[in-house]
Chains A and B, each alone.
Chain A
Amino acid sequence: DAKTTQPPSMDCAEGRAANLPCNHSTISGNEYVYWYRQIHSQGPQYIIHGLKNNETNEMASLIITEDRKSSTLILPHATLRDTAVYYCIVRAAPPLRLTFGEGTQLTVNP
């Protein structure tokens, strides 16, 4: 699986959009970009995934650059409950193994 790079921490004001970047410059053609988050002392929660097109669901939007070397997870209206560690994972489908990096600690402030 391709390696990913994320900032260790980010802050966001409640109600504003949270934009979480992820670099995956070694991604190969058959690898997907997945995002999970982990709220303190809970198991990770699946958010969204994509291959090359931008994706949107009820939780977030995923923007993947045309060269696929980076992506951005967008939480359009962050709430305090979105405070969590967000993990960007690149891997081939099906998910035979999910390996987690250090992720980004997002803190949403009132």
Chain B
Amino acid sequence: GAVVSQHPSRVICKSGTSVKIECRSLDFQATTMFWYRQFPKKSLMLMATSNEGSKATYEQGVEKDKFLINHASLTLSTLTVTSAHPEDSSFYICSARGHLGQGDTEAFFGQGTRLTVV
């Protein structure tokens, strides 16, 4: 299947600082990217959906000013957690779908980023 690379895989930051997580589609053009967060022993929760060149659509209850999403190119989307606090500590996962060859791809997932705010 198509490859989605997420970086970094782990990050520890101090409370009040901002953290940027990158999500890249390596072998296809990602027209749509999705960002999820996952707490321990819980399922994935969709945070936002972004289409290349457009503003992201946030799920209800997700603060758009806190979780900044940029999808400026067909291969890269970034999630910036601004002024991070310990309650933002979580596993963040990106997913991408787009064009590969003649057709559209399914949604493929990155390996996730473990964020710990201390």
Instruction: Report A's interface with B, CB cutoff 8 A.
Output: 34, 36, 38, 41-46, 49, 87, 94-103
Kindly identify, within residues 61 to 101 of chain B, every residue whose CB is under 8 Å from any CB belonging to chain A: 91, 93-95, 97
- In the complex, B6 has a CB within 8 A of chain A: yes
8 Å CB contact of A98 from B6, B34, B112: B34
Q: Is the interface of B mostly helix, strand, loop or mixed?
A: strand
Instruction: Report B's interface with A, CB cutoff 8 A.
Output: 1, 4, 6, 32, 34, 36, 43-46, 49, 91, 93-95, 97, 104, 106-112, 114
Asked whether A44 lies within 8 Å of B114 as measured between CB atoms, the reply is no
Q: Name 10 A/B residue pairs within 8 A (Cβ), A-sorted.
A: A36-B109, A44-B93, A44-B109, A45-B109, A46-B107, A95-B106, A96-B32, A97-B34, A97-B46, A101-B43
Asked whether A42 lies within 8 Å of B111 as measured between CB atoms, the reply is yes
